[in-house]
Structure 1
């Protein structure tokens, strides 16, 4: 269910979601359209994301019983923010981000959202982060081994040059002046 409501001049107590700060904030000049999707009011720019969630997981909010519209909107904002956090690359995601994501999924689930699918993604993100850490450690170890082998090879090449020079010196015949 999608309902469009044009947001004109907003009052001081009206709240809108600010995508730049990714937090609910008061706005005095909000020209963005507010759209209702399955009982949640979201910005027009978020409609496709919210509709995609409900299309794939239609019963996601079936146990979500909050009646206060501002709280409902805030919870949806938290869910969207969490999903955007998980869309970051494993390099950008910190363990702190993942721990916060983990507790946020727990909080949203306690509020009534059915988020087994998102729980799996958080777990996958943890695994990716751990594998990346393991790969980095293994790469560092291999780089150290390569460096040691290169140094060893350099030492062997130096020894080889010395041996060749010594061997070459033994092959040269004596000169008359060397003998007399």
Structure 2
């Protein structure tokens, strides 16, 4: 179900959603091709992503019955943004990002999208983030222990040097001048 149209020919209800999903644009200068996939209109640059979603999860929109094309497009844009958020490096993802993603999945699910697979990935992202936090806490704890033990070792080495010096002093025979 793929149909290509030109953005400049679209009506007010068929506005294109920008790939960065920052805003809807309806400029007659726009000549980005719009492709219709399973009832959603997406930019040509998003076609492969949307096709991949429908290939892996064909029932994703089976309960999604919005009539307003603009709203449908917006939901798809939000879904694509959500997926791209989860694709970011774990170092870039904050807990705030994950909590926002969690609320977005809830909203999309309430709207009728079947996103159990995305919920699972989001839960994995939360677990990874928590594991990372726990690992780094343990690393800091171990670094502190190493630091303390290095100080103890330094103190022991100092004591050892003093004891060796004392042992040498005890083992040193008296000199003639010391005895006389």
Q: Which residue of 2 aligns with 1:18?
A: 18
Contact residue 35 and residue 41 of structure 1 kept, 8 A = yes
- Shift, 1:179, TM fit: 2.2
Q: Which residue of 2 aligns with 1:56?
A: 56
Contact residue 19 and residue 43 of structure 2 kept, 8 A = no
Aligned-pair RMSD on alpha carbons?
1.9
- Shift, 1:165, TM fit: 1.1
Q: Which residue of 2 aligns with 1:128?
A: 128
Secondary structure of the structure 2 residue equivalent to 1:36: strand
Aligned-partner Cα distance in 1 for 2:58–2:9: 33
Normalization by structure 1: what TM-score?
0.91
Normalization by structure 2: what TM-score?
0.91
Alpha-carbon distance change, 18 to 67 in structure 1, aligned in 2, over 3 angstroms? same
Contact residue 17 and residue 25 of structure 1 kept, 8 A = yes
- Residues 25-174 of structure 1 mapped to structure 2, 5 A cutoff: 25-26=24-25, 28=27, 29-174=29-174
Q: Deviations over 1:103-132 (max 9, x none)?
A: 111110111101111111111111111111
**Please, which moves more after superposition, 1-10 or 161-170?**
1-10
Alpha-carbon distance change, 118 to 15 in structure 1, aligned in 2, over 3 angstroms? same
Aligned-partner Cα distance in 1 for 2:99–2:159: 55
- Shift, 1:14, TM fit: 6.8
- Shift, 1:95, TM fit: 1.2
- Shift, 1:7, TM fit: 3.0
Alpha-carbon distance change, 27 to 151 in structure 1, aligned in 2, over 3 angstroms? farther
Q: Which runs of 5+ in 2 are unaligned?
A: none
Contact residue 10 and residue 30 of structure 1 kept, 8 A = no
